[in-house]
Amino acid sequence: MSETRDFSVFTRIAPDGSASMEIAIEGINCGGCIGRIENAVKHLPGVADARLNFTNRRLTIAWKDRGFEPGLAIDALEGMGYRAHPFQIRNVEEEEAEQTRFLLRCLAVAGFAAMNIMLLSVSVWSGNVTDITPETRDLFHWLSALIALPAAAYAGRPFFMSAWRALKARHTNMDVPISIGIVLALGLSLVETANHAEHAYFDSAVMLIFFLLCGRYLDHAMRRRTRTVAGNLAALKADTAHRILEKGELVQVPAAALRVDDRILVRPGERVAADGMVVGGRSSIDQSLITGETAPHKVTSGSAVYAGSINLDGTLTLRITGTAENSLIDEIDRLLDKAVKARSRYVRLADRAARLYAPVVHAAAALTFAGWMLMGAGFHDSILIAISVLIITCPCALALAIPAVQVVAAGKLFRSGVFLNSGDAIERLAEADTVVFDKTGTLTLPEPRVINASSVDPELTIAAARLAFASRHPLATALARHADAKSPFENAVEDPGRGVHAFVDGQEMRLGSAEFCGIANDSAFAEAERLGASTICFHWGHRQAVFIVHQTLRPGAADVMRSLISLGLEIRILSGDRPAAVAQIAQNLSIAHWQGGLTPAGKVAALEDMRTRGRRVLMVGDGINDAPSLAAAHVSMSPITAADLSQAQADAVFLGERLDPVFHTLAAARTARRLMHQNLGLAVIYNAIAVPLAVAGLVTPLIAAAAMSGSSLIVILNALRARSSGKTGAASDVKPVKQVVRAAWTS
């Protein structure tokens, strides 16, 4: 029994004494599972809270009662038909990979079987109107059964297992009517074949499995890409630190072993292991990924330094002010986890439709069977008509209505350089009415660039770039990248905190600060101050140069802002950079609403405030500090140059230096949502026409199967309009269904 298991290794203890644990759950296939699971676990004695993340299938439970056994929650979940176990990153990755392979194997089996059965069925259909003998027809039907039964038993397992778990827990889901329809269609086909009937429906059952597996596999593949991996944050955390003992000796210790008031030594190029305060030394700190600050941050005695920052030049002595579990990075991690759980409560359009659809299908088939039995039709005819109703109402068109559009739209976006990380991203993108941009690396190019190279002697630029190779300072890196120099000076020496120098042809070269290079006056200083940019100086003999390094706007950013406004969207900027730097960008792009100097928590609070005012926000950001904001927003995007953690949390990632993909993605999403609604409408109209005919006994299972396949084809053809729509996604760009059908026949 799970009560006797030791879960202490999976349990996290908070400073206030409360405990929590993450449980990975298998068998969740729709948004309706969220409320059921959370309510069941919350009612367990001692549980304070339970939150299910639908995206990564993880349940977080919290409790304060020291006597509470987490095994009770696992048993409760298993009693509801779900397989549950304590979350371990490696186990979850392996299980998700195996689930993907399993679905792909099922899809391959169903596709191969469907093709072969259809070949036999075509022969039977054509033979029924010509000269096929009963013996030959029976042989073809038995061959179809020989292929269909084992194929359906294997390929239909994702639906059968899900339906069995639901029924075992005394509730239904979308897989219940699907499984019933498949089993009854196969069973009826066997009976009809044994009785030498003209028609069997093995092809319909296997084709249904194949279509549904297509949607489920693609949905699972998208969802898998959204999984949060804790290693993304771990990459920013220093594994070890050099702790200074009382006698001044250095000892290397794990970062997790650091305690408040410990002193550590951070050398140039090392990553800071924990939040602290400088008590000795001076240096420049690169904390752009942590806070969004673009320029290197000068620190001296008394300055605060965050874990994850990189020490660029001087050696620092820090006094630890926050342990590894209470650093800014861990605060980002907690904000991120909370935001992801909140966003996972979004109920997708297909799930909302499925909640109403399943009971209607059951009721229609059951009432049809009962009605015809009462009218004396006999068991055989009554069950035949009921199965026709079940087949014709089988949710194939409904199940394909949303995934088909998603696949087509995602393919179009992929070809234009946009990769979707979430299965419901298109729906949420279409609902966005506000776009919030981060500044650093999002509105601006991710890497600073030299902007005044045209006014500097090219010989000096190349020499300075070669010298810049000897430094790890961001400004020197930008200069080296700009000139594309290939061969550094071998005798270069770096003076920490000041610059780098070398002797070339008997003359000293210096690259670094103005003081280090002996440059007091230059027009470039005034220009850099006006732009809010940085400068790096170069001195060689009697010649000198001052390079202005600045993060420039992405090409065409202003045009994109105007295009977004034309869609009726409100534009804002939320940045952790200096307010003065943010103000300049906002002015250049004519953005009236902006905020600068925000912490990760401040960005999340601003987004929450917009949400409470009814705004549905698309957040576009790239830094580690943007990850909680990306997760907290209604929907999110990030450039391909973003930090790994930000890309993992974004619903979409785009390529290139331009922001045009943001506009094109929103426009395409609005078109896709329109097509989704049309597909659902087509499915409803189809059922409104077909169900009464089937209930009246005017439709045979063969015609029902053909009608079901026809409705799926119409839905797929309508979904193809997402591929042919223009970049703007305007209604006028969407071709009528008639044109698409004509194009499909002529291509």
Does 343 have pLDDT greater than 50? no
**Residues 228, 648 contacting (CB under 8 angstroms):** yes
Query: Which class is 238-326 in CATH?
Result: mainly beta
285-331 per-position pLDDT tens digit? 877 655 555 567 788 888 888 777 777 767 788 888 875 555 555 55
Count of all residues that appear for the chain in the document: 747
Residue 519's pLDDT band, with cuts at 50, 70 and 90, is confident
DSSP per-residue string spanning 123-148? HHHHHHTTT--HHHHHHHHHHHHHHH
What pLDDT sits at residue 204? 75
Tokens at residue 686, please? Answer: 């189809």
Query: Which class is 449-550 in CATH?
Result: alpha beta
Considering 438, 577, 622, 660, which one is annotated as catalytic? 438
191-212 per-position pLDDT tens digit? 888 988 877 878 878 877 887 7
Does 464 have pLDDT greater than 70? yes
247-256 burial: b if 16+ Cβ within 10 Å, else e = eeeeeeeebe
CA distance linking residue 308 with residue 324, whole number of Å: 10
What pLDDT sits at residue 594? 92
What pLDDT sits at residue 734? 35
CA distance linking residue 158 with residue 111, whole number of Å: 15
CA distance linking residue 184 with residue 457, whole number of Å: 83
CATH 2.70.150.10 boundaries in the chain:
238-326
Tell me the CATH architecture of domain 2-87: 2-Layer Sandwich (3.30)
Does 152 have pLDDT greater than 70? yes
Mean pLDDT of all residues in 615-636: 84
Which of residues 624 and 500 earns the better pLDDT score? 500
Which of residues 528 and 517 earns the better pLDDT score? 517
What pLDDT sits at residue 610? 93
**Residues 96, 224 contacting (CB under 8 angstroms):** yes
Active site residue 438: yes
162-197 burial: b if 16+ Cβ within 10 Å, else e = bbebbeebeebbbbbbbbbbbebbbebbbebbeeee
Residue with tokens 């397989």: 83
Which amino acid type is present at position 107?
L
Q: Where does 375-487 have alpha helices with state H? A: 379-392, 396-415, 425-431, 458-468, 474-483
What pLDDT sits at residue 702? 59
Residue 67's pLDDT band, with cuts at 50, 70 and 90, is confident
Least confident of 16-25, 82-91, 159-168: 82-91
- Give percent of the chain above pLDDT 70: 73
State the number of CA atoms in the 13 A half-sphere of 479 facing the CB: 33
What pLDDT sits at residue 707? 67
What pLDDT sits at residue 227? 45
Identify which of 166, 664, 679, 705 has the alpha carbon closest to the alpha carbon of residue 405. Answer: 679
Mean pLDDT of all residues in 244-259: 75
CATH 3.40.1110.10 boundaries in the chain:
449-550
What pLDDT sits at residue 337? 55
Helix (H) or strand (E) holding 276: strand 276-280
CATH 3.30.70.100 boundaries in the chain:
2-87
- Whole-number average pLDDT of the chain: 76
Least confident of 151-155, 641-645, 743-747: 743-747
DSSP per-residue string spanning 510-532? EEE-HHHHT----HHHHHHHHHT
Mean pLDDT of all residues in 732-741: 35
Does 647 have pLDDT greater than 90? no
Q: What are phi and psi of 284, to 5 degrees?
A: -115, 140
